[in-house]
Chain A
Amino acid sequence: MRLGEILRLSWTNIWNHKMRSLLAILGVLIGVGAVIAIVTMTEGLQTAIETTFTHDILRADTISITSEGGFAFFGSTQAFSDRDVEYIKNLKLSTGESPVKVTDVIGRVRGDVLSFEGRRFLDSTVRVITSPDVIPLSGDQKSQPVTGKGQVLVGVGTAASMCERFKEKDFGSFSDKDKEDFAKLAKDKFDEIIKQDCEHVLKDPRKAELLVCAYKKAKQTNASEITDALKKECADSLTRFTPMADRVRGQTLHLKYLAADSTIKEDDLKIVGIVKDTQFIRSDVSYVSVDYHSDTELLDGTERRVYTGLIVSVNKEFINRLKEVKDALDAYFKSPQADARKILGSEKKVEINTLDEIISQIRGEIGKFTAFMGAIAAVALLVGMIGVMNVMLITVKERTREIGVMKATGATNGGVLRLFLSEAILICSIGALVGVFLGVGGSKLVIKAMEAVFEIKDIPFVFVWVWYIVAVIVGMLVGIVSGVYPAWSAARVNPIEALRYE
């Protein structure tokens, strides 16, 4: 029999048992779909985290040094003294070369109280940073790094709280009832253009709130009907709406802190930029210049400044020798000479990581996760395979008489085997193909869920086409594996008995 004839006959058989075939297809579909969803999702997750590190936080020429248990290099223990920093700046390799270009420090501001227009931010913390390069600023060109005293970079969270304050200042507070009233009015009375505008605007809650405010204002001035004046007011509100970054930049924050001489000092800080909202960077942290740093530890009888983390940048020619630099740093922090060792004691380790290591750590973690999820999905596929096998066995049993007829009319054992095998493969291929599509779609849902549950931001959708091809091929293999025994038992049927079979 030619392939076309075999496939047509198989399809006829599948089509004639729609429910049964559908259930068998569903089994494979769920298995393949689950695998594809997991692969697509973890691939996206990995890309998201790697992007954060490679584009936003670390560069190829940097080594991060933190204390164990810290959150990336924004570790919580202030363990690295200025003596450690000095040592690292002058670090020598065994060959006598000096690889280190700069050592940047990250530290806290002691007793920080940050306020805006007399109101204190409750959860905010202030960190010092020597090289704000390591902090990703929000994409627009207008953000600048802090260059000295009197400047500050704020996190998105802080900026958002400030915006709340602006709204209150502009419009007073408003309730959900106001929003509803406005939405109703907007729908009923506004002429077409404004209506379209409003419907569009209402999808953006922030803009909607501004409109509500405009409405309220109009109501207060006894505008019982929607007047041209109110429309104008609304339009004005829209134009008044400016992006958060623009609104916040240039504003002044007030910082109260404990200075090195243990006196409380105050300073006004001008916001020069907003820190990009990424993984691992808390949105309510503000960054100021190292001038505000005052945290010290008493070491060998002297008060020394201490920091939570260090970022070592090496000279260009040492980029390929990061391992050597890392080993030298490692040796230093294991020696009793290091202040970090004295502060941390023997319990906590110093973590020294290159970008590659962090990436491979992440890959390893995600790999474990993928393997675990993949195993669950594989079980689903196995169950699907058993389902197909079961359906095929029933089919063979049911069609025993037909097998007898086919054999009597010249079908060879091989011909019968191919016929039933192709039916199983067809079922599984359909399942795999549809499974890939649903898996891709499903992964989008799972990504949404992951973003919500683990508070990870912006997991991208990665199209891993190699996996889709693999999935379809695996689907066919599953078809062969599940179909081979039923098809073999069909081929073995004795035609004489089969023709008598009731």
Chain B
Amino acid sequence: MSATTTNSNGNGMVVEAKDVTKVYQMGRVEVRALDGVSLVIKQSEFVAIMGPSGSGKSTLLNLIGCLDRPTTGELHIAGTDIAKLSDRKLAQIRGKQIGFVFQTFNLIPRISALQNVLLPMSFVNTFSPSERVKRAQQILDTVGLGQRMKHFPNELSGGERQRVAIARALANNPSVILADEPTGNLDTKTGRSILELFKSLNQQGRTIVLVTHDPNVAANADRIVHVMDGRIQDETFNHAVTVARS
């Protein structure tokens, strides 16, 4: 993949959260899922978000992924404040700037690997219809599935499915890849190879945000953000990785 993201704003910040809160109304009870979170993720960073369940890490992921809007605060994704955007605009940002990778792969079972990669391209007009198939094939090649693009999801192993999902996430050349427990449904060995794939993508300049509760998985990132009770508790830098890279 030669194309590195150019969608972020000039200062190189892909995600910029300023004092973001998210409050859910659960019946009569107000649940403060995020409580004054400020976070900056720069271009080409590999960030892991860690925290136990209920800590608010999923809410943070949903906000970064533009699936939801913050209750208060500012949230810039690739330079756009998404707090006030319409559903339609939000969908467009998701399509252009975000690439989701899920724990359960979430491929469309009735269409081939190639068509699964093509699908997000048909939602967003970043690439012209004539380029799309070629591009999808290239991406599948990069994730190591060049030989299996005509296969349907049920004909692929778990690791292969996740590779297709990653290829799908890359389809529209997004600013950031959001991976929610991407190795959670895979055995250790396959999980490791997927993490290697993320790392190599990161080395090509991709910004990756990985949500996990597994410290071994988080250890692959440059920076680990620990979330607890809706706040960022602390951030640790993985020097081994950073040093190795510099």
Contacts and interface: CB of A to CB of B under 8 A. Distances in A.
B51 interface: no
A256 B32 CA distance: 112
Contacts of A412: 87-88, 91-92, 123
A422 to B, nearest CB: 13
B171 to A, nearest CB: 8
Given A414-B88, A496-B67, A408 B123 contact: no
Interface in B79-135: 87-88, 91-92, 94-96, 98, 100, 102, 106, 108, 110-111, 119-120, 122-124, 129
Contacts of B91: 407, 410-413, 415
Contact of A496 (B62, B98, B108): B62
B119 A406 contact: yes
A1 interface: yes
Contacts of A411: 91, 95, 123
Given A495-B67, A496-B68, A410 B110 contact: no
A276 B91 CA distance: 75
Most central of B65, B91, B168, B172 by chain A CB within 10 Å: B91
Contact of A499 (B87, B106, B110): B106
Contacts of A9: 111
A1 B122 contact: yes
A95 interface: no
A12 B94 contact: no
A405 B116 CA distance: 11
A1 to B, nearest CB: 5
Nearest to A412: B91
Contacts of A13: 110
A408 B122 contact: no
A94 interface: no
A296 B71 CA distance: 104
A207 interface: no
Contacts of B95: 409-411
A16 B62 CA distance: 31
Contacts of A2: 122, 129
Contact of B108 (A405, A407, A499): A405
B120 A410 contact: yes
A412 B90 CA distance: 8
Interface string B52-68: 00000000001001011
A2 B91 CA distance: 17
A415 B120 CA distance: 12
Interface in A400-426: 401-402, 404-415
Given A2-B122, A413-B91, A408 B110 contact: no
A499 B102 CA distance: 9
Contacts of A408: 65, 67, 94, 98, 100
Interface string B167-180: 01001100000000
A121 B95 CA distance: 90
Which of A2, A16, A495 is packed against the most chain B CB atoms within 10 Å? A495
A347 interface: no
A5 interface: yes
Nearest to B62: A496
Contacts of A410: 91-92, 94-96, 120, 123-124, 172
A415 B123 contact: yes
Interface in A263-291: none
Nearest to B61: A496
Contact of A402 (B67, B108, B171): B108
Nearest to B124: A410
Contacts of A495: 67
A102 to B, nearest CB: 78
B134 to A, nearest CB: 17
B119 A409 contact: yes
B25 to A, nearest CB: 14
Contacts of A404: 106
Nearest to B178: A408
Contact of B106 (A5, A16, A405, A413): A405
B67 A12 contact: no
Contacts of B100: 405, 408-409
Nearest to A497: B67
Interface in A62-84: none
B120 A409 contact: yes
Given A401-B106, A496-B68, A409 B168 contact: yes
Given A2-B129, A413-B91, A414-B88, A406 B67 contact: no
22 contacts: A2-B129, A5-B122, A16-B110, A405-B102, A405-B106, A406-B123, A407-B67, A408-B100, A409-B94, A410-B91, A410-B92, A410-B96, A410-B123, A410-B124, A411-B91, A411-B123, A413-B88, A414-B88, A415-B123, A495-B67, A496-B67, A496-B68
Which 3 pairs across A and B sit closest by C-beta, in order of nearness?
A410-B95, A410-B123, A409-B120
Given A410-B120, A415-B91, A499-B67, 14 more contacts: A1-B122, A2-B122, A2-B129, A5-B122, A9-B111, A405-B102, A405-B106, A407-B91, A409-B94, A409-B123, A411-B95, A413-B87, A413-B88, A496-B62
